[in-house]
Amino acid sequence: MTGDFALAEDCAQDAFVRAFSDWRKGGIPDNPGAWLTTVAKRRAIDLLRHAGAEDRALRRVAVEADEPVEPDPDINAGIDDRLRLIFTCCHPALPIDARVALTLRTVAGLTPAQIARAFLVTEPAMDKRLVRARAKIRHAGIPYRVPPPDLMPERRDGVLAVLYLLFTEGYSATGGEDLIRISLLREAIRLTRLLVELMPDDGEVRALLALMLLHHARTAARTDAVGDVVTLEEQDRSLWDPDAITEALTILRLLVPRAGRYELQARIAACHLEASDAASTNFARIAELYDALAFIDPSPVVELNRAVAVAMSQGPEAGLRLIDALVTSRGMEDYYLLPATRADLLRRMGRGTEAATEYEKALQLAPSEAEKRYLGKRLAETRR
């Protein structure tokens, strides 16, 4: 209604503050959502009336208008509210990274620090990116509306990126005591299932669901009884979810191979989960899949994962050479998995002193307490 994210957020917060007071006295209304929306809208009108700028005056007219602000609901029947808002935020007029960052902030509630980590940029840089995105919406008058079905494909990449990064934050939390945020994992999977229903013929959408299911299948085995990290090679595979694995592998079997970024990642995950144990994993095939992924979606993180696969298939020396080439890569300075992976390969090669130094670096950069505890144990073992 306002065309201004900052104003909308301020008005929504004011409405919640008012509810906190009024509902304690008069009880919760029959329709809390409508109550909050009405109070927030009135607050927006009040603020816009007292603003002299021409653009605010025009937005005030839009907010005060009685015309519906949403398109014909029949066009978007069946779309979940949160998925509807994700589609709305992923407007093609914004650069793809701005769309994804803004949606993660506005819809998923991730902090700028968490989003910055996903994009391998600093928190101040991400703050500026979010400010620019909001300013463009405000000044260009970009209409935030749910697109009709024929326009959904042009927003697909942004929506997929949002869902993937939402899942990633749940899979490996940016901060806090716990490694896994199970509520985010489940919400990302739920929304992706809804997206599959909306776009059933899109292979990348189904591949993303398969990727999520394969990773989520290992949730029960990824931490021990006290919440400490258990690495993939040490996990109890009997704890993996066979139903999730079966569903994901079925999706992959029915896909027409197109080598999309999510399909390739899903096939990499499948290689791990189809192996009876860590030793029998086809790491040579995984390295080949990472080669293909690096071709269509090059990034230092992909190269790091490829180096691990090479190390497991050709020996730690081969992997270490590839990792050493990434040390000066932009965006990897604060990425804790780079020194952590380097430390692991050095440890396997018997170079304990060097490994300890790398573990110390990784320990300082690790985002969650669970990962810090794991790295601390590895460091202690290396020093013995």
Kindly report which listed range (44-58, 224-238, 267-281) carries the lowest average pLDDT score: 44-58
pLDDT in tens, 155-176: 899 999 989 988 998 898 877 7
Confidence of residue 59 (pLDDT cuts 50, 70, 90): low
Token pair of 293, please?
A: 């992924």
Nearest residue to 345 via CA among 329, 335, 330, 358: 358
Q: What is the DSSP letter of 111?
A: -
pLDDT(228) > 50: yes
Nearest residue to 178 via CA among 186, 165, 169: 169
Task: Give the separation between CA 350 and CA 316, rounded to whole angstroms.
Answer: 11
Task: Give the separation between CA 111 and CA 13, rounded to whole angstroms.
Answer: 17
| Cβ atoms within 10 Å, residue 345 | 26
Q: What is the mean pLDDT of residues 232-240?
A: 95
Nearest residue to 262 via CA among 317, 215, 207: 207
On the 0-12 / 13-18 / 19+ scale of CB atoms within 10 A, 119 is middle
Kindly report which listed range (80-89, 229-238, 273-282) carries the lowest average pLDDT score: 80-89
Task: Give the separation between CA 164 and CA 263, rounded to whole angstroms.
Answer: 12
Kindly report which listed range (100-114, 192-206, 318-332) carries the lowest average pLDDT score: 100-114
| Cβ atoms within 10 Å, residue 104 | 26
- For residue 126, CA distances in Å to 88, 102, 116, 118, 123 come to 21, 10, 6, 10, 5
What is the model's pLDDT at position 66?
43
Instruction: Tell me what percent of the residues of the chain surpass a pLDDT of 90.
Output: 57
Q: Read off φ and ψ for residue 223, nearest 5 degrees.
A: -135, 155
Nearest residue to 69 via CA among 159, 135, 152, 8: 8
| Cβ atoms within 10 Å, residue 58 | 12
pLDDT in tens, 328-376: 887 788 899 999 999 999 999 999 999 999 999 999 999 889 899 999 9
Own/partner pairs for 32-37, CB < 8 Å, 24+ apart? 36/12
pLDDT(287) > 90: yes
- DSSP-derived 3-state class of residue 327: coil
CA dihedral 269, 273, 277, 279 (to 10 degrees): -20
pLDDT(272) > 90: yes
The 3-class secondary structure across 188-237, one letter per residue, is HHHHHHHHHHHCCCCHHHHHHHHHHHHHHCCHHHCECCCCCECCHHHCCH
pLDDT in tens, 252-269: 999 988 889 999 999 999
Confidence of residue 21 (pLDDT cuts 50, 70, 90): very high
More confident residue, 81 or 31: 31
Confidence of residue 52 (pLDDT cuts 50, 70, 90): low
Token pair of 324, please?
A: 């050493």
pTM for this entry: 0.82
